[in-house]
Amino acid sequence: MLNPIQVTFRDFEPTDAITDYVHKRAAKLDHVHDRLTSCRVVIETPHRHHKQGDRYHVRVDLTLPGHALVVGNRPSAGGPREDVYAGIDDGVDHAVHALKEHLRKHSPRRHEHEGATTRGKIVKLFGYEGYGFLESAEGVEVYFHRNAVLHDRFDQLALGQEVRFVEELGEKGPQASTVEAHKH
């Protein structure tokens, strides 16, 4: 994540324990999409219930290149929770689901295009680690691993080199399953 996670408390006193728990749980979001530009978690007690105790509502605001997502406790999940930690778990789990769904829907090569070959160029190359990133004609960065490069030619790749590749949706966003390098 490019920026740290911001935690906001409304209508109750913040604690370090709750803040630390939010940071720990929200780290899951980076495993779904490593190019998040911001994450804001808002924890509030919208209504005070004297007989039942406080109820906590958790909202997660995510910003990623070109998009913003806002996710809160779903009514089907019981709405606000009496346990702040359960509310945080629900809020982050719903944000993970929403982010995955967003990536699936907004992948430039989804459904009808999956498996189609497209052209791009290599924009980042981490030779020692065995991976890199391509840029598609639409300007989308696509991850690839050395095992996706045909004919065992990963070590012959260079920045700016044109390639053809097959894109699919991976756990962290678009990735190339097959990369064929053009001779440079």
Domain C-terminal end among 90, 106, 122 = 106
Do both 141 and 63 map to the same domain? Answer: no
Q: What digits encode the pLDDT tens for the residues 40-53?
A: 999 998 765 555 55
Long-range contacts of 2-6 (CB under 8 A, 24+ apart): 2/35, 2/36, 2/37, 2/38, 3/37, 3/38, 3/39, 5/39, 5/40, 5/41, 6/38, 6/39, 6/40, 6/41
What is the span of the domain harbouring residue 89?
5-106
pLDDT tens digits, one per residue of 21-30:
999 999 888 8
Contact, 131 vs 144, CB < 8 A? Answer: yes
Does one domain contain both 38 and 71? Answer: yes
Share of the chain above pLDDT 90, in %: 33
pTM above 0.75, yes or no: no
- Bridge partners of residue 40, in order along the sequence: 6, 61
Domain final position from 75, 106, 137: 106
Whether residues 54 and 73 share a domain: the answer is yes
Residues 6+ apart with CB under 8 A from 17: none
Clarify whether residues 29 and 85 are in a common domain. Answer: yes
Considering the domain architecture, whether residues 97 and 31 belong to the same structural domain is answered as yes
Which tens digit of pLDDT belongs to each residue from 141-151?
899 999 889 88
Indicate the number of domains in the chain. 2
